[in-house]
């Protein structure tokens, strides 16, 4: 199997995701805990479940929130990953110790410096598109070939299927994670997942971190 990491097929991806976050918080290396969030409909369900079940299991005043990617739209726009996370998670758990928004107008360097100061990210949450992209690393896009020292980059989808310029963690930025959790749901993702398992190189096939866990529902795994 060419899938980078551990494959877990589950009927309830949001519940499995929430448990991985709780486990990572409990076993964190420092008193604080850093998490980079994602976007999309699967992420929304995951964050809603996380907000529902954490209770006293996560002290959100010890959590620093980052983003794995962001669309270059206002942060109150319906397309903003920050807005999604705020509605599905942050507003519902009350607050976090700090939230570090990606701000496209500033360019990637301030976020690069912030991640450099952080050193390691405890958990990076990723999804995968039907084209095999992860974060905002699209097939044949410029950020895939970023310098190894570049942790954050601006990027676009060359195919035009995914609108808006983006800011995104690079593959090197993702590799700073102690744990990367990739959540994949739906039959529209099945072909890309099967291609990665078969050894085809897509952006998501290049994910690396200390540990990578793929949480996949039966529909997305239907071609394996």
Is residue 221, in this structure, part of any structural domain at all?
Answer: no
Range of the structural domain that residue 49 is part of: 6-167+179-216
Q: Give the model confidence (pLDDT) of 173-211 as tens digits.
A: 999 999 999 999 999 999 999 999 999 999 999 999 999
> What mean pLDDT, rounded, does the chain reach?
97
* Count of domains observed in the chain: 1
- pTM exceeds cut of 0.75: yes
- The answer to the question of residue 43 being in a domain is yes
From the number of C-beta atoms within 10 Å of its C-beta (0-12, 13-18, 19+), residue 187 rates as middle
Rg (CA), the chain: 16
| pLDDT score recorded for residue 1 | 58
132 is a domain residue: yes
Tell me the C-alpha distance between 201 and 171, whole Å. 14
CATH number, residue 35: 3.40.50.1360
Q: What is the pLDDT of residues 72-129, one digit of tens each?
A: 999 999 999 999 999 999 999 988 999 999 999 999 999 999 999 999 999 999 999 9
> Which residue do the tokens 């410029």 mark?
142
Residue 84, in any domain of the structure: yes
């Amino acid at each position: 199997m060419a899938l980078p990491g551990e494959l877990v097929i589950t009927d309830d991806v949001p519940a499995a995701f929430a448990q991985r976050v709780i486990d990572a918080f409990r076993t964190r290396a420092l008193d604080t805990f850093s998490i980079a969030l994602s976007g999309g409909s699967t992420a929304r369900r995951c964050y809603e479940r996380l907000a529902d079940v954490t209770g006293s299991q996560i002290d959100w005043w010890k959590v620093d929130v980052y983003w794995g990617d962001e669309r270059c739209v206002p942060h109150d726009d319906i397309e903003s990953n920050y807005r999604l996370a705020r509605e599905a998670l942050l507003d519902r758990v009350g607050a976090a110790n700090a939230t570090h928004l990606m701000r496209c107008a500033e360019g990637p360097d301030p976020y690069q410096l912030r991640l450099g100061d952080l050193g390691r990210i405890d958990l990076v949450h990723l999804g995968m598109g039907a084209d095999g992209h992860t974060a905002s690393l699209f097939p044949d896009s410029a950020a895939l070939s970023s310098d190894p020292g570049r942790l954050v980059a601006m990027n676009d989808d060359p195919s035009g299927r995914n609108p808006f310029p983006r800011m995104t963690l690079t593959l090197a930025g993702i590799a700073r994670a102690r744990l990367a959790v990739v959540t994949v749901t739906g039959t529209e993702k099945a072909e890309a997942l099967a291609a990665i398992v078969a050894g085809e190189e897509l952006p998501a096939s290049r994910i690396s971190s200390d540990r990578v866990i793929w949480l996949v529902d039966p529909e997305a795994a239907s071609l394996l």
